[in-house]
Every structure is written in C-alpha cells, then in structure tokens.
Structure 1
Amino acid sequence: MTRTTSSARRAFRWPQPLAGNKPRIWYGGDYNPDQWPEDVWDDDIRLMKQAHVNFVSLGIFSWANIEPEEGVWNFDWLDRIIDKLGKAGIAVDLASATASPPPWLTSAHPEVLWKDYRGDTCWPGARQHWRPTSPIFRDYALKLCRAMAEHYKDNPYVVAWHVGNEYGCHNRFDYSDDAMRAFQEWCRERYGTIDAVNDAWGTDFWSQRMTDFSQIIPPRFIGDGNFMNPGKLLDFKRFSSDALKAFYEAERDALAEITPDMPLTTNFMVSASNSVMDYDDWGDAVDFVSNDHYFTPGEAHLDEMAYAASLTDGIARKNPWWLMENSTSAVNWRPINYRKEPGQTVRDAMVHVAMGADAVGFFQWRQSRAGAEKFHSSMVPLAGEDSQVYRDVCALGRDLDKLADAGLLGSRVAQAKVAVVFDYESQWATEHTATPTQQVRHWTEPLDWFRALLDVGVTSDVVPVRGDWDRYDVVVLPSVYLLSEADSERLRAFVNGGGRAIVTYATGISDERDHIWLGGFPGSIRDVVGVRVEEFAPLGDDFPGTPNEVRLSNGTVAHDWVDVITSVGDDARVLASYEDDPWTGLDGAPAIVANEFGKGRTAYVGCRLGRDGLAKSLPAVLDALGVAGADGNGFGSDGNDFGSGNGSVVNDGDAKVLRVVREGADDRRFTFLFNRTRAKAGVPLDGELVIASKATVVGDGDSAEIEPNGFVVVRSLPTD
C-alpha cells in the first residue's frame, strides 16, 4: 500500500463498440432497472433508442439483488435486462456492485462498518458504510467480483467494468482498529524505521516521539480546539487515499484475472473543490479515466466546469476520458437545488466533450420514485418523455452522433501554451487548522487563475503537479504549498532553460513532509523568483480594527494573505507595490515582482488578488514575462509571439468566449466556442459549422451570434 509517484501507469484501453457497430461517442447513464417493474424495461429501451443512447452503467448499487443471501446468486433479472439492452444495440458498462453491502452482510459482520474520529460507528441506512481496510469485507466483495466476472466473462454486450463507485465519497476516513493496523503497516513500508516516522512528523514537538510502530494511531479525537500533528494528518490523508485505492485494485485484479480483455475504470469526483482522493495518483490505476461532475450554481457554472474538465484531461494525460455522471438539471444534495437553465443540459455536456471526453453519461436514466435521490434530475424525469429535459437529452444524443460522423473521435485536446498547476497534497496540507489564515486553501487559487486567464482571452490547461507542466511555454504555480526538492529543481531547470513561470503567495512553503523551507519564503526557489519573504500578513475582519484589505499601485486590492517581501534580487523589478498606511510596514513594499533567471523569466504575485485582481494584473505580468496577452502582440527580445500560437490558448482576444480546440492526427481541427456571458456574443466561424445550440449563423455564414448558454462547434479540414 506504499504511496509512490513513479508506479507504472496502466496502458490506455478504451471500451469497444458492440459487434457490427461503428465507434461512436458513448452516450447514456446509470440505469437501475431493479428499481422498476419489468413492464417498464421495454419502454426504457424505446426511449433510449429515441435519444441515441448507446450505453448504460448497470448494477452499481445492486448487490442486495444479485446476492440476496450469502452465497445465493440471482443473475436472472440482470441477464434479462442485459440481453434486452444488447439486442437493442445498447452496450453495458457493468459494475462490480460492491459500492454498498447488503443488510445481511452488515448484520452478520458489523465489524466491517467504518468508525469516525470519535469512535462512533457508521451504521447502515445509506451507502458506503464499509471500511476499506476490513479483511472480512474485502473477502465478501472479491467473492462478488469473481462471481460477476465468471458469469459475464463471455457476454457480448458487456464492454467495460465499472469497479465500485465514487470511492471515498462517504468512507474516505476510517478510524477503526483495522485502519490503525493498516496505517501502521503503511508507515512501516513508507519510512522503514520508527525514527524516520518521528523525523517526518516532527514528533519532538509536544513530546510525541514514538519508539515502536504499534504506537501509531489514526488522528482520532484529541479534544475540541486542539491541533493535530500536521505531518501525521497529512500522511493519514495519503494513507486513506492509498487504502481505498488498494481496495479498488483488489477488485480490479479479481475481475481482470477472469476477464483480462475487458477494460476497467472507476468514477472519480474531480471538481475544483473536491480533493477526496489523489485522483492523479489513481489515474495510473485505471485503463481509462472516468469522472463524475456536478455543476456549480451561479456565475462560476461554466468556468468551474471547464476547469474541472481540463484537470480531468490532465489526469488522463490527454487520452480520451469518460464523463460517467453529470446531471440533466437539479441535484438533490445541496441545501438549495437549483435547476439548469434552458440550453445548459446540452451545453454542459459539450464542455466536457470539448475538453477531451469521448463519452457522456448522466445520473441517472429514469428518475426514482422513492429513495434519497428521488428529487435528483434524470434523463427521463418524473414528468416523462413529454418534457424539456427529455427533449434536451434527445437533442444531445443527435449532436454527439453528428460530432462522431464529422470525425471527432481520435482527436485530442490541443495543448495550451499555459499550464495552471494543481496539487492534491498541497490542498490536504492547507486544510490543517493551524495555518496563517483559515481563509486560504490551495484549491481556490488555481481556479481563480484559470478564470482570470479566460478573462484576458487565454484558455489554459489545468495540469496535476505530477504532470508535464514543464513542457508548456508558461506555467502558473498558484499556492502550491508543498514543493518538494525534486519539483523545486524541475521549476529551476524549466526557467533556466527559457521557460516562463508565475509563482504566487503560499507556494513552496514546505517540502513534501510539511517541513518549512528555511531562510525566508519561498524557501527552495527564492533565487528563481527573485524575492525573499520574511513573514506573512494575513488580512481579515474577525476582530474590530483588523485590516481586511490592502491596495496595490496597479489599482487592485489584496485580501486574506499578503507576503511581506523584504528584498528582491538584482535582476528583479517591481511591477506593483502596496499602498497602505505608513505605520503598517507595507506601504511601498513589493507586491508583484518580475525576475530574470537563466534564459527564462518569472513573476511572483505575493498576495491574494482574486479573479478580478489577477485579470487586471495579467497584462503587465505577461508583458514582463516576454509573452503576449489577449491582443496577440508579441513581447520580448526572443520574439515569442504568445498570442498567435495554438488556437486552444488565445480566444481571438475575446474574453466573452471560452474557446477550446481538439486536433486529430489528420490535422483536422474542431473548435468549440462557448458564450461565457449573459448577453449575446458574436464569433467568427473559421471553418464548417458542425453544431449550433442557442446560436444563429449570420451574414454569409462566416460568423455566428451565440446566446447565453449557447455554443457552436466548427470543423476545419487540412488543406492540400
């Protein structure tokens, strides 16, 4: 279970179409026929064919119906529906069905139930009430996997294994004795000796030094208002991700041993704010990446979706990936469950396709009449087929077939020129309760940078810290709190060789053990960015009279976090400084600093400016880096014309439009243009129009007017 960052990545394998069918963009969703009488099944298939559905995920929560008693198997109903689906040309992504154990299992073995940090048991009544380190639960789950694999190994209608479901959504942390023993073994494998654990966790502080691995316990309840050892807590989060991944791998391997030619996946939960698992690490363990994504209501809806889809594309290393779940309209699990506006069902799915998804799935096919998710929207709503939701579902199916016919399959998202780095472990570290300010977490800064770049006409790629960010022209390291020596050297080599880097406050504070880099911040890369930070000046309004903002000379405003930069390098120049009361010690101090290092350049943003402040600061920052902004004009003596490069980067200088390009091996290009605003947006059509949703072609067909929630897709073919 030892965490490594160099484990071999599984070879990419994509589910193949049913015999006699040509490859299409996979389209469908979770299907739960066991929730309905069989006389509904034929109507389901009729509606699926009408909507151009070609796959369903089946059996995800069906353990109790597949194994109603221990060792008693009931595959008859599952066989019948798979046969009906397959004969209708609808493939099956078959689940291992292990996501939630049946009542007979937990009644006989309550010791498989996970415990919270106070020692309270998570009792049955919902889902995912099992502990991943339970050997008893693993035995039962693997018996189910082997039974499923043996029964369906020759079924021609099953094209992929859907292993588990959203691992860690509810059972991410378990504090049981099973977990304790597994955590001790994880630490033994990772560190070798107890002294190495003590060193990693800094246990000389508060008399926490241990003399034996048996003294390691999970970070259980330590009293309200107290502070858990940061190194221990960070490692427990790593362990928890690894423990669930080890359980997934055991299921995966049990299925693969019997069905070696069947591709396997499990559905991640990649979004801007969700860091339950280290999904980039998990990306090595699947044959193809799958993701569940649910929209963020309000003004961030489109941008957050594009950000999350780009991060998923980065986790997939630009191989095709599967949008396993999204929603046709409202979800059921927020305090207020907002509906989608007209056009958003189709538009939202197409954003994921633009960002590399060759499959679109929803939760779920038919909306439930009973149970906890009865108010969750579905492809066939409670209102039935005579509904706007189902009409949109049919329209999306037709559009996806049009894209397949036009040759989208086989294309990949064109690499941008800018990479925004995201790091799961930095997010985990910044979640600790003893930090300079509880108002700052890692995840918000990459999203702000992604959106600010869009606001100046630049579409960036979101790249995991383990990804190839040093192959881009410009890299942004936004509040990457943990910066290992190896990643510090990567950045140093990248910039020294001519790369451009933007580094922000709260980057490079600690190494991978959460040990602070000494000598001033950012400790391991001070020479690269040309600044030295002596301390932080958090901002807030929780006490009367405390400062909650500081103005900058470029007209922006800092909030939450300000670096006290006390010196800059000889080759650095200040792009913006603070304008504050003279007695604070910040007035006139550097806020944004550009530096030359080797053949490259950097810019350091020493405060939290938010999306708007970043967008206002970016023109000067890009100029200082020797690259161009939205106007496409080149800067710098190296002649690097940032604006005229890959079409996936610069939106023709139009911040009103999200522009993404997918490129095929035959040089054909598909350009996706999405309206980011609440007003109509005009766009040029450089090629053949393939799809238009809430958009109108104008003039001689060389431009279009896109309404809010609308988009167009244009294809350009190679010229002889």
Structure 2
Amino acid sequence: MPETTPQGRLRLAFGGDYNPEQWPESVWQEDVRLMREAGVTMVSVGIFSWALLEPEPGAYTFGWLDRLLDLLHEHGISADLGTPTVAPPAWFYRAHPDALPLNREGVRYAFGSRGAICHSSPAYREAAAGITTELARRYATHPALAMWHVHNEYGVPVSACYCDTCAAHFRRWLDARHGSVEAVNEAWGTAFWGQRFASYEQIDPPRLTPTTGNPAQQLDYRRFADATMRENFVSERDILHRLAPGVPVTTNFMTALSQCDTVDYWAWGREVDLVTNDHYLITDGRRTHVNLAMAADLTRSVAGGAPWLLLEHSTSGVSWQPRNPAKRPGEMARNSLAHVARGSEGALFFQWRQSRRGAEKFHSAMLPHAGTDSRVWREVVALGADIGSLAPLRGTRTVPDVAMLWDWQSWWAQALEWRPSEDHDARERADSFYEALYDRHLTVDFAHPEADLSAYPLVVVPALYLTTEAAGRNLRTYVENGGTLVVSYFSGIVDEHDAVHEGPYPGALRDALGLTVEEWSPLGEGETVRIAGPGEASLTADVWTEFVVPRGAETVWTYADGPAAGGPAVTRHRLGEGTAWYVSSRLDPAALDTILGAAGEDAGIAPRTGLPRDVEVVRRSGDSGAYLFAVNHTAHDTKVPLDTPGTELLGGEHVSGHLAVPAGGVRVVRLDA
C-alpha cells in the first residue's frame, strides 16, 4: 500500500509549483539557492509540461527534467512530480480534434487554454496512459521524488462534454448503474412529457432543449461526468502504483470553491493516497478567512479526519477575479497557518517564480516580479522558518466540535431549473450556517448524510434537498441515540433520482423532525417576515416561509406575519434520547445564532464567550502531544484563555494562564502533558 504522506518528509511541506521551463536553465541555480534561503522543502513540477516531455508522438525529451530533479535533490528539495495530462500538446489535438470537448450548445472548444478535454475520448486516455507510463518508468526511484501529482484541478474549467463519444459512454454507464432501459425510464420519470425511451440508443446527453430538460437525466449526467474524470484519474494512479510502488499519488482538489462544484469529493477522497487541496480567497466582500476555514475543514473531512496538504494558495493577489487585491502584511502567513491549524501538513503556493508571460503573469508568487527586495519575499522567508518550527505537528489531527452535512450530489440536484424560488441558494445557507458555528468558536467536521454521526453532539443540516431514505434513517437514528440535529428548510425533499419522496414534505426527514409541511410560500424579492418567540423575543427572516404542521414536535418560534402568520416557524422534536430542530425560513445571522445557541444547549456545548470575534482557536492532537493554534484576524492585540500551560513554538517562550496574540498574528502552543 502506498504511503499516505510524501516520501521522506520529516518536516511540514513548504514550497510551491515550480515551472522552470518558463526560464533559461541559467536561472535554475538561482532558484534553488533562493529556495534554500526561503526554507522550501518541496516543489510541484511538470504539471503543464507534456509538450516539452513529448514534443512529437512517442518521442520523449526527458533530459531537462532529469537535470532539474537532480538539481533539486542536490539541494535537499523534494519533488511532487506531475503527470501533465491536464494540457495535451497541440500535436495531439491536431491528430484528434474530437478530443476537444463539445458544450451543451454543440460548440466545440478550441486549443489554447487548459483542461479542454473530452474525458471519454479513447485517444486521450491512450495518450495520457502513455506519458504517465514513461514518467513512472523513468522516475520511480529518483531520490527527489516525494509523491505523484496526477493531472491538475479536475473539473476546471470543463467537467462535462456532450459529444457522440460521450453519448455512447453515457449509455454504457447508465446500463452499469441502472441495469436496463426500463429502470432508466423509472428513475428518470420519463412518463412525464412523453420522454420514454425504448432502447439505450435513443438516449443522448442532456443537450440544449427549448425549455427545461429532464432533471433526473441532467443529474445522472453530472454523476457520469464526475465518474468519467475519476476513471481517468484511477487509470493514471494505477499505472503509478504498479511502476512506482510505495510512492503516494494525489491530485489537487478545490473543495469549498462554489465555482468548482462539479466534483463529488467524497468519492474522490477514497481514491487518492493523500488528500490535497487548492484554496484561493474569493474577494466578494465577505470575510475571506471564514471561507478559508470552511475549505480547510471540508478538505480534512474528505480525508476522513486524517492530515492533508494545502498544495496551492497565493502569496498575495490572484489574477482571475473581477478585482484582485494584494494580501495585507501578515495575511499570507496567517492564511497558511490557519490551514495548518485545521489539518494541513504544510503550505504550498502557486507558484515559485512569478511568470512574465501567459494568462497568469499577474498572479502573485513566492518570488515576485519585485524580486527579493520586497515585502512578499521577506514574508515568504519568515513563513518558511515558522513552518520549519512546526515539525512536531506532523501526523497530529485537528479536534472537531460539531458536524455539518454536505453532499455535492444534493447541490447538483438543487441547482437544476424550476425550483420554488431563485432566491434560495443552498450554498448560501451552508456558508451562513458555517459562519454562525465559526463565530461560536466551534471547529466543524463535514460529513456525508449517510456517514456515522455518533461522535458529534450537534449536527447541522443547512441545505439537503436531495436526501436518500438511508440518510433519513441515519439522521433519525442519530437523534434517537442522543444527538442534537438542526435542519434548515427545503431539506429531505427528493430521493437520489430527484423524485419527490412519497407523502408530505419534508419527505425523508418527517419522522426525525416530527412534522409535515403542507406547502411552501417563498417570499417576494426584498420581503421579510418577523418570527416571535419566548417572551418578547423576535427574529427576522426572508426568502422562504412554510405551512408547518407539528406531528410530535413543539412550536418554539411562530410566524408573526407573512403568508404563514400564526403558524410554526421553528420547531423542536424530542425523539428518543435526542432532539431535532427545524428552521422553516431563512434566518438572518443574529436569528440563526439564537437558534444554534439553543440547540447547543440541548447538545451540552458550553458557550465560548471568552474568545473575541474573528480570533480562531483550534486544536490538533496526536502521539507527539496536543497543540493549540490561536489565529487573530483582527487589527487589535488580544488574549486567549489558556487552560493548560505550554511552549509557544513560533517564539519559544513558555506561556500559561493566557496567550497573547498580536493583531493579525498567529501563535502555536505545544501544551504541557
């Protein structure tokens, strides 16, 4: 079985993507000298180098890569060696133009970007296997090799192709999944609108239609596209396992970016030897560090709680958003160490040396255009030293407090056309619930709806439109056995085929919640409702209301106005040893915090009132001891209560009673036994 951490790693990983082919070899010596100065331990190489490694079909030029890997090893730097299959060469597309993907509108994409691949193409699969095999044969035993990096960011920017090759592949996939065309008709509900199929040959991808197409067909096609990409990853991975046994194989995920929601990472997490992730701050006006924490928690959860690796983030600004601000002084280190707090075994960047040409020439790098006499470079060197001082953390695990359910396939289903309100955004609810837990200083594990939840005192379900019968039973059992559950509206509605569960809403969650919903009544744009509670308490909500009928649940908060005035808005159901809460409208942040506070009391979670807002306190623990991270995202110095004394690893001093954390700073304490 391959290792689950990069080979030979005694320290946390620090480095980034290295693209030396963009520079004359005379620059390489300077690069490795500066890498040593910065404390770099590993770089990712060869990811976009197919055209250089195989300039003509079957003709390989490995000399430059030989010299590069030898040079890295000579200077004590390991390689995360890529298979360059995200960017086939121009000669390949000239010979196989049908390997370029076709979109739903029937337009074929052109060569000149990256990731433009029909993953069903036999020619692509053969060529990808060929270059992967040659790389594995040549470098399997190279001393610089730490791990293999297959492809790059699967699903970005294209995940699905709609060509005839994909149509034939889709039919085979449907037969393997459903067993017969009759079963496909049943699953897709093709009796509606006369869409019934008499044979597989009549089924095509869900191409452009004059009005909304069959939602179950579209959902299955998203599954198929994801599975097809994963087939290609597994093919390359198996070649590498066979020819380079013991060397871990990964591919870089992008777990929490809403722009990258075409991949079911629960399934992918089971296929890689080490979970890795890329994360970039989305500068849309929200608190970017909250999404960072969410991405790290989600990546750790995909890894089953095991340590993972941040394979890409930015030293400063990126180049592909509408506005790309520079990171402020100290923000790069704070971002990096926040990922480490939540389970990463280091921090790597895109990229080492900033490009002079190409689409990402304005994307920041470890070695910027400004050179070594720059703030970014000085912060990179300081961060390298800090990462080096955290070596004892290797192999420890982040300690969670609560769980949130997350299912990419439910996102896919809910994003299809003709839902009750375009203002309801499932991802917005997930972000809001996470932010509320973050502000209560709770570390979140994410879980699949059918996963074992028994370890968590509190489980929140912000948006689970697609809920299987198995997931419904799982949540009922969780509550019966003493868990506290919080479910938001429009959850439990359909099964895995996007078919409404038989009987009243909320379908698969009726029993756990002890209620039914007769109707939804989404609100108009900008419209709000008031929700009245115990005493004179009042909450504010918008977007959505429901006509809720308690069937065992008690009404805790009531609609004071709006379409459902006088009816239950928030309910609480005591079931077995536990409690299930239901929230039937979109609560604003203050209201959501109120409900989560009440649910937290049911779960026995004590409020963490001694911690300021935007100061994270996260723990890692393992054989080497227990560690506390304090990450201060504010502009003010603060103090964090410290129950156990210990040694602060970044400064070396012994601390007890409280931990002083400077504005924008990070402190890491190795707690005394």
Q: TM-score, normalised by structure 2?
A: 0.95
Aligned to 2:580: 602
Aligned to 1:568: 550
CA contact (8 A) 1:319 1:356 kept: yes
Aligned to 1:338: 325
Aligned to 1:291: 277
Q: Is 1:413 the counterpart of 2:398 in the alignment?
A: yes
Aligned to 1:243: 228
Hey, what's the Cα distance between the residues in 2 that align with 1:105 and 1:671?
51
Q: Is 1:673 the counterpart of 2:660 in the alignment?
A: no
Mark the CA change 1:145 to 1:272 in structure 2 (over 3 Å): closer, same or farther: closer
**Structure 2 SS opposite 1:556:** strand
Hey, what's the Cα distance between the residues in 2 that align with 1:55 and 1:714?
25
Hey, what's the Cα distance between the residues in 2 that align with 1:373 and 1:499?
48
Q: Is 1:552 the counterpart of 2:531 in the alignment?
A: yes
Mark the CA change 1:697 to 1:437 in structure 2 (over 3 Å): closer, same or farther: farther
Aligned to 1:201: 188
**Equivalent position to 1:627, from 604, 609, 616:** 604
Hey, what's the Cα distance between the residues in 1 that align with 2:511 and 2:635?
44
Deviations 1:100-122 (A, max 9, x none): 01111111211111111111111
**Structure 1 SS opposite 2:126:** helix
Hey, what's the Cα distance between the residues in 1 that align with 2:104 and 2:454?
40
Mark the CA change 1:436 to 1:137 in structure 2 (over 3 Å): closer, same or farther: same
CA contact (8 A) 1:12 1:319 kept: no
Deviations 1:333-373 (A, max 9, x none): 11111211111100101111111111311000000000000
Deviations 1:540-585 (A, max 9, x none): 32xxxxx6211111432111222221x2133x2222111115xx3x
Higher mean C-alpha deviation, range 522-531 or range 354-363 = 522-531
**Equivalent position to 1:303, from 269, 272, 290:** 290
Counting only pairs closer than 5 Å after superposition, residues 361-376 of structure 1 correspond to structure 2 as 361-376=348-363
Hey, what's the Cα distance between the residues in 1 that align with 2:585 and 2:637?
35
CA contact (8 A) 1:482 1:512 kept: yes
Aligned to 2:266: 280
Q: Is 1:614 the counterpart of 2:589 in the alignment?
A: no
Q: How far apart are 1:611 and its partner, in Å?
A: 3.2
Hey, what's the Cα distance between the residues in 2 that align with 1:50 and 1:205?
66
Higher mean C-alpha deviation, range 88-97 or range 524-533 = 524-533
Q: Which amino acid aligns with 1:600?
A: G
Mark the CA change 1:402 to 1:682 in structure 2 (over 3 Å): closer, same or farther: same
CA contact (8 A) 2:414 2:466 kept: no
Q: How far apart are 1:697 and its partner, in Å?
A: 9.3
Q: Is 1:712 the counterpart of 2:667 in the alignment?
A: yes
Q: Which amino acid aligns with 1:276?
A: T
CA contact (8 A) 1:427 1:441 kept: no
Deviations 1:402-422 (A, max 9, x none): 111xx2112111132x10111
Hey, what's the Cα distance between the residues in 1 that align with 2:348 and 2:407?
27
* Identity, % of aligned positions: 39
Q: Which amino acid aligns with 1:537?
A: S
Mark the CA change 1:288 to 1:392 in structure 2 (over 3 Å): closer, same or farther: same
Hey, what's the Cα distance between the residues in 2 that align with 1:343 and 1:438?
39
Counting only pairs closer than 5 Å after superposition, residues 12-411 of structure 1 correspond to structure 2 as 13-17=4-8, 23-223=10-210, 226-273=211-258, 274-297=260-283, 298-404=285-391, 407-411=392-396
Deviations 1:398-450 (A, max 9, x none): 1111111xx2112111132x101111011101111210112223222222112
Q: How far apart are 1:692 and its partner, in Å?
A: 5.5
**Structure 2 SS opposite 1:425:** helix
Question: Where in structure 1 are there 5+ consecutive unaligned residues?
Answer: 1-9, 542-546, 631-649
Q: Which amino acid aligns with 2:542?
A: H
Aligned to 2:648: 690
Deviations 1:287-322 (A, max 9, x none): 110111111224421111101100100000111111
Q: Which amino acid aligns with 1:703?
A: H
Question: Where in structure 2 are there 5+ consecutive unaligned residues?
Answer: none
CA contact (8 A) 2:457 2:604 kept: no
Q: TM-score, normalised by structure 1?
A: 0.89
Hey, what's the Cα distance between the residues in 1 that align with 2:237 and 2:84?
12
- The alignment's C-alpha RMSD in Å is 1.9
Q: How many residues align?
A: 666
Mark the CA change 1:156 to 1:456 in structure 2 (over 3 Å): closer, same or farther: closer
**Structure 2 SS opposite 1:524:** helix
Mark the CA change 1:339 to 1:534 in structure 2 (over 3 Å): closer, same or farther: same
**Structure 1 SS opposite 2:390:** helix
Q: How far apart are 1:45 and its partner, in Å?
A: 0.4
Aligned to 1:703: 658
CA contact (8 A) 2:636 2:664 kept: no
CA contact (8 A) 2:457 2:603 kept: no
Deviations 1:89-141 (A, max 9, x none): 00011001111011111112111111111111110011111210000111111
Q: How far apart are 1:397 and its partner, in Å?
A: 0.9
